[in-house]
Amino acid sequence: MAEPMSPDEWQAHVTRQAAVAMGRWLEARGRLDRPIATLTRKDLECMASNAISRFIGLASQRRTQGPDPAEREKLDDLLMG
């Protein structure tokens, strides 16, 4: 089992994972080498949706792993709105 991450380490991890999700979406559509300015609004919305979905999954997982109460409350606020 992996060692617990600090909130800063977790934030860096989530940021990398969101970037990976966006890259996978682009790669699957053959658009990884295109300048971002050539992407359509729909392309950008889909990339954002993939990144947000990845964040929600990771935040939910972290929430259930029992971080300290203050972090748990912040995650609840993010996940519940």
Secondary structure class of 61 (helix, strand, coil): helix
Side-chain-side CA neighbours of 47 within 13 Å: the count stands at: 18
Query: Which of the 8 DSSP states describes residue 33?
Result: T
- Global pTM value: 0.76
Backbone angles phi, psi at 68, to 5 degrees: -60, 160
Mean pLDDT score, 48-63: 91
* pLDDT for residue 29 is more than 60: yes
- The span from the CA of 58 to the CA of 12, in Å, is 12
- C-alpha closest to that of 75 among 5, 1, 7, 6: 7
Q: How confident is the model at residue 32 (pLDDT cuts 50, 70, 90)?
A: confident
